Amino acid sequence: CPFREVAQRHQDVVCSLHLGLMQGALARMRAPVTADRLEPFAEPSLCVAYLTARDEPRPASPSAESAGQLEGR
């Protein structure tokens, strides 16, 4: 954990923020997974993020759309 020292003292706040950062990054990247929860300190120096596959299909990338438009001409 990049925030381990602070998280050991303020686990509620730091781990919630870390989970939110992961969720936001995955959403922004349109990742095929979401971060559902974080298990702080599953081992002394390890936290576990639980990921779930998204149900919704990801939109096509701009390059794939362009290729489709070119084929239709």
Q: How far apart are CA 7 and CA 40, in angstroms?
A: 9
Q: How far apart are CA 33 and CA 55, in angstroms?
A: 9
Q: Give pTM, 2 decimals.
A: 0.68
Task: Report the 10 Å Cβ neighbour count for 2.
Answer: 8
pLDDT digits (tens, 9 = 90+) for 40-61: 999 988 899 999 998 865 555 5
pLDDT at position 73 is 41
Mean residue pLDDT across the chain: 82
59-63 CB contacts, 8 Å cutoff, 24+ apart:
59/30
